[in-house]
Chain A
Amino acid sequence: MVLKNMNDLKHLVDGEARKKLVLAAAEDQHSLGAVIKAWKENIIEPILVGDAEGIHNICAANNYDITGLRIINVTDPEKAVETAVRMVSSKQADVLMKGKIGTATVLKSILNKEWGLRTGKLLSHFALFEADTYHKVIAVTDVAMNIAPTLHDKIAIVNNSVACLNRLGYKMPKVAVLGAVEMVNENMQATLDAALLSKMNQRDQIKNCIIDGPLAFDNAVSLESAQLKGIKSEVAGDTDILLMPDIEVGNVLYKSLVFFAKAKVASIILGAMVPIVLTSRSDSEEAKFDSILLAAAASR
């Protein structure tokens, strides 16, 4: 099965026990808005950790009715993150979300050796896009976390995103390893890594997916363009996961999809004990809502 759009994520969580999402440093208008909307739509059960007064002020100013919502008052944002992370590591919550606090502080807490959310896996960013011009949702990774992943990192990034799509119901997601060209070129490391990843997949050293690469962007998403080039590939034109060679390519692709293709995006961090919603202030409320939805679906 595949997801055609963000709304399909909703079908995945429909009728299931609501996941507990803990919002760390919750005194943040955009995050609160998205969390409350997701709560009202029965997608999650939120726990707000942060400055209670600030939270109430924002809710009052925006007419958010939070009757019955659990709020844990921790005024220091850093302490709030620690409290939220501890709740997750002690299984009192299923999803972690960042509120009004810097990403670095959250990551530091996640990686805490005693009470953090480490699993030994690499943390990676996973963005899911819905664009009118593609026949299903497409994941792009890593566009925000790993700067210049080595082959070893790329294996971990693929494994993280494949496991996530497996949880979303994909049996064998199709992974395209992106390059500037579809040919192997000794001077382009991305194409060499792509060849190695393909072979490891053939040998079942990377499981539960079909990997092909290098594929240029057009070959990855358009069967016609792959056929024009005479590429025989199970992945070409039907990609579920686009693996980026590095953060520059990933970030530019992410932003061009949002700005030029008007794509919807949902993003989470993978590799920790639970999915983490780590959206940035510049993300729209819709993107934050969809990210919560994705995290809830991926934590099933």
Chain B
Amino acid sequence: MNMIRTLEQMEKKVLMLKKKHRVAVASAQDSNTIGAINKAVKKGLIEAILIGNTAEIKKTCKSEGIDDSIFTLIESPDEIRASAEAVKLAKTGGADIVMKGLVGTDKFLKAVMDKEKGLMLPDAVISYVCALEIPLYHKLLFITDTAVIPFPNLEQKIAMARYAIEMAQKFGIEKPKIALIGASEKMSRHFENSIDYSIMCKMADRNQIKDCIMDGPLDIFLACDKKSLAIKGVETPVNGDADILLFPSLESSNPFYKGLMLFANCELAGLIRGTEKPVIVMSRSESELSKYFCIALSCLMA
């Protein structure tokens, strides 16, 4: 399989698979979400089930010039019940993918992570991986965790690495290079993450974390820029050619990707990992195109 280097190539790949997935959207009465869903339906990627205030959904469709008859609409009185309904559909086989609409992430995830009715895999860590398309980088960059775990512990970091590797492999990268991001490449007692990172590298050496080339701590220059390696005289198997960046905290990963979106003209597609079925969670302020790419990504991972 050829390596997918852009989000458009990813969309093409999904279209070639010619498999329509059913997406259940919780609280769909949001023009951005409906726009993205409409595009995905029109392209033949998905069938959509929109759950929420149906009058509001129809109104939004009308004002956007979208034909609401191509969707299945389900009435639900509030965002909590809409989320539960979407999750229930996925759980009982009525949908393949769940997507968050105009509902708070915490409320939506509560439904997803419900022990009995939710979509969590047994004992799984719930995390988030996204594929970033950066015009100045020569390929997609997968980053984790930009949305769910504030301060991942060692176990969570290992899970994050595995999810990111799994996603990169779906993009045709057999043995992704994964950089564990820190402020410096040195080990220091003052940076607890550097301790976790050393442990993970040894686990990768010993094949306890499979199918990757791992190194860390590395700063972003050493991870993504060959010139910096030469200047600093650091040798690393990631070799300035990282496919995946694993961040030590939400506070470092979140500003990283948002900064890139805002200032570097980036596009992204992200997904919750650790669930039985793909779960799309996007910030409400995300663009329609990003949302569309998320839907395409969820089809690739489904």
Residues on A lying within 8 angstroms of B by beta carbon are 182-184, 186, 192, 194-196, 198-200, 203, 205, 214, 230-233
Contact = CB atoms under 8 A, between A and B. Distances in A.
B30 interface: no
Interface residues of B, number: 18
B198 A205 contact: no
B208 A196 contact: no
Contact of A195 (B185, B186, B201, B234): B201
Contacts of A214: 202
Nearest to B197: A199
Contacts of B198: 195-196, 198-200
Interface string B161-191: 0000000000000000000000001110000
B74 interface: no
A207 to B, nearest CB: 13
B202 A184 contact: yes
A231 B207 CA distance: 9
Contacts of A203: 185-187, 234
B186 A205 contact: yes
Contacts of A184: 199, 202-203, 206, 208
Contacts of A196: 187, 195, 198-199
Contacts of B234: 203
Main secondary structure of the interface of B (DSSP, over half): helix
A194 B202 contact: yes
Nearest to A232: B205
Contacts of B206: 182-184, 231
Given A186-B199, A200-B187, A203-B186, 6 more contacts: A183-B203, A184-B203, A184-B206, A199-B198, A203-B185, A232-B205
Contacts of A231: 206
Contacts of A205: 186-187
A186 B187 CA distance: 19
Contacts of A198: 198, 201-202, 205
Closest CB pairs A-B (n = 10): A199-B198, A195-B202, A195-B199, A196-B198, A184-B203, A200-B187, A195-B198, A184-B202, A183-B206, A199-B187
B154 interface: yes
Interface string B199-221: 10111011110000000000000
Residue of B185, B186, B199 with most chain A CB atoms under a 10 A cut-off: B199
Contacts of A233: 205
Contacts of B207: 230
10 contacts: A186-B155, A195-B198, A195-B199, A196-B198, A198-B202, A200-B187, A203-B186, A203-B187, A205-B186, A205-B187
A196 B188 CA distance: 10
Interface string B225-236: 000000000100
Which of B155, B195, B203, B206 is the most central at the interface, judged by chain A CB atoms within 10 Å of its CB?
B206
A231 B197 CA distance: 20
B124 to A, nearest CB: 18
Contacts of B203: 183-184, 195
B61 to A, nearest CB: 52
Contacts of A182: 206
Contacts of B154: 186
A214 B197 CA distance: 15
A92 B207 CA distance: 54
Contacts of B185: 203
Most buried by A among B155, B194, B198, B208: B198
B230 to A, nearest CB: 16
Contacts of A186: 154-155, 199
B191 to A, nearest CB: 12
A154 to B, nearest CB: 13
